[in-house]
Amino acid sequence: MSAGRATAVLVSAVPAAVMLVLGLWGLDRGTMWRDEGATFQVARRSLPEIWHLLGSIDAVHGLYYVLMHPVLALRAEETALRLPSVLAAAATAALIAAIGRRLARPRVGLWAGLLYAVTPFVSHYAQEGRSYALVGAGAALATWLLIRAAEDGASHRRWAAYGSVVAVTALLHEFAVLLLAAHAVTLAVSRVPWHTLRRWGCAAAGVGAVLAPLVVISRRQSEQVSWIRTPGYEQAQALLHAFAGPGEAVLTVTVALAVVALLVPLPRTGPLRLDAVALPLALVPPVLLYLASQRQPLFLDRYLLFSLAGVPLLAAAGAERLLGRLPWRRAVTAAGAGAVAVAFVAQLPFHERERLPASRGDELARVAAVVGRVARPGDAVLFLPLHERRVSLAYPREFAGLRDLTLRRSPAASGTLFGTEVGAGELEGRLRGLPARQRVWVVADATTVGTGWFRGQRGEVAKVRALEALYREESVVFVRGGAVSLYVRR
């Protein structure tokens, strides 16, 4: 292996290894949260059952569920659920390093890849059983392919590879299509030849054609994101902290280095300059989604994880501008890596917090554990609201032998996430048919039951009335985000 090739491999391997270590650290938190629970139960269905579901809900996650199907078929547990995200984050760190090396020099790539790996926001989604880390890897790979295709603008094969990767990435989550807008800005400000723009346009058109059916279907399912609120200053500020560092010191240094990179850009080593690639990647998708969300709110930080790659690239370029003229090359490279290590130590409390069971807001395992401890086979169970059935779908062992009082059709059979339920009249009949000493356990989502939203759900209110007409609450156990109550016949 030549010295240049060995350097290239090392530059990408080190950030990937660091990301892999951080991703595996505390990977098994001992509980899934609600979105991971959806992945866990849907991906374990048969492929026809997954297809049935996508016609009514979660079409935007359809490809991800299909990819996770064989993974969970091999090992259906939390570590396996999250491992693909860890590997995807490691691949992203390696690709960012490769981009920095290609557009500047090896140590710029090394610093950028390491900075990406130690960002707490990255760790959050590297350890989550959802599609966002895979989308980030796809976006980084597409950006790498764009650079290579721009270097050889006439290569149909490279443009086809670029378009294919963008299409697959957008099918994993359709908002990744905003990557095309960032790349369009990159090519425009770089003043690439017309034939390069034309081939990029053909690739982008192909992506649009592939994505169009998903867009049509997902628009019909937009009700499932109706809870998202119109973004304002707080959401924009939160995204800045997510991208550049939750700690003020790291944030300040990262932004300062990025400003240096923009004011004194590194010289171009090919058709595309580093700042022309990194700035649109970091800025264009968030700005477009923010503006679009003023009309139809869809702005969530996790939808934009794929844009984060631009920030460490800019910060590394700024560091190169400040240190690049120093003669001690190895010492400078080591000093930059040391600075990233200092940033990691400064943000260590945030990393530790990400690995706590409560880091995602709800702990399905704790609710299930309470049921497993207090309920006995033959007892009945009722979920409030309907979506709280997610606890039993994520942890079915704790609910073995319990009778689901309201279930009409299972989630898989009904093509839904949580199944369909009987009406209040049939529920009342089922309750009256229970033995006098039958115990009923109510598993409730404590964050929604009793709220204005819950009171507006007539079906849920009717369930409560039917239950309380015949049963009274005898005891309740509260855990984070949930409650398990024992009801006995009046």
On the CB side of 370, CA atoms within 13 Å amount to 22
The C-alpha angle with vertex 299 and arms to 125 and 246, in degrees rounded to 5, equals 50
Percent of the chain with pLDDT over 70: 99
Mean pLDDT of 216-226: 85
H helix or E strand, kind and range, residue 385:
none
B/e letters for 14-43, b = 16+ CB within 10 Å, e = fewer, are bbbebbbebbbebbebebbbbbbbbbbbbb
Q: What integer pLDDT is reported at residue 153 of this predicted model?
A: 67
Q: Is 60 exposed, middle or buried (0-12, 13-18, 19+ CB in 10 A)?
A: buried
What is the phi/psi pair of residue 478, to 5°?
-100, 135
Q: Is 228 exposed, middle or buried (0-12, 13-18, 19+ CB in 10 A)?
A: middle
Q: Return the axis-axis angle of helices 233-244 and 248-263, rounded to nearest 10°.
A: 80
pLDDT in tens, 84-132: 999 999 999 999 999 999 999 999 999 999 999 999 999 999 999 999 9
CA 293 to chain centre: 19
Mean pLDDT of 329-334: 88
Confidence band for 307, pLDDT divided at 50, 70 and 90: very high
Could you give the 3-state DSSP secondary structure of residue 154?
A: coil
Answer whether residue 433 shows pLDDT above 70: yes
CA distance 387 to 148: 46
C-beta of residue 394 within 8 angstroms of C-beta of residue 37? yes
CA distance 197 to 430: 66
Answer whether residue 362 shows pLDDT above 90: no
CA distance 138 to 345: 29
CA distance 53 to 233: 36
What strand order describes the sheet that includes 471-479? 403-404, 380-384, 440-445, 482-489, 471-479
Q: What integer pLDDT is reported at residue 440 of this predicted model?
A: 94
15 prior amide bond cis, ω within 30: no
Please name the residue that has the structure tokens 């606890």: 391
Which residue type, as a one-letter code, is found at position 114? L
Mean pLDDT of 294-317: 95
Cα dist from 152 to 99, 124, 156, 230, 280, whole Å: 16, 37, 9, 42, 21
Lowest mean pLDDT among 279-293, 321-335, 408-422: 321-335
C-beta of residue 171 within 8 angstroms of C-beta of residue 214? yes
pLDDT in tens, 134-186: 999 999 999 999 999 998 866 789 999 999 999 999 999 999 999 999 999 99
Q: What is the pTM of this model?
A: 0.93
Please name the residue that has the structure tokens 């969970």: 72
β-partners of residue 485 are 442, 476
Instruction: Give the residue from 32, 129, 30 showing the smallest Cα distance to 89.
Output: 129
User: How are beta strands 440-445 and 482-489 bridged, if at all?
Assistant: antiparallel
Answer whether residue 403 shows pLDDT above 70: yes
Answer whether residue 3 shows pLDDT above 80: no
C-beta of residue 460 within 8 angstroms of C-beta of residue 385? yes
CA distance 392 to 394: 5
- The mean of the pLDDT values for the chain is 93
C-beta of residue 266 within 8 angstroms of C-beta of residue 274? yes
Please name the residue that has the structure tokens 């994520």: 394
Lowest mean pLDDT among 138-147, 253-262, 321-330: 321-330
β-partners of residue 407 are 421
- Domains along the chain? 3-360 (no CATH), 364-489 (3.40.50)
Mean pLDDT of 443-461: 90
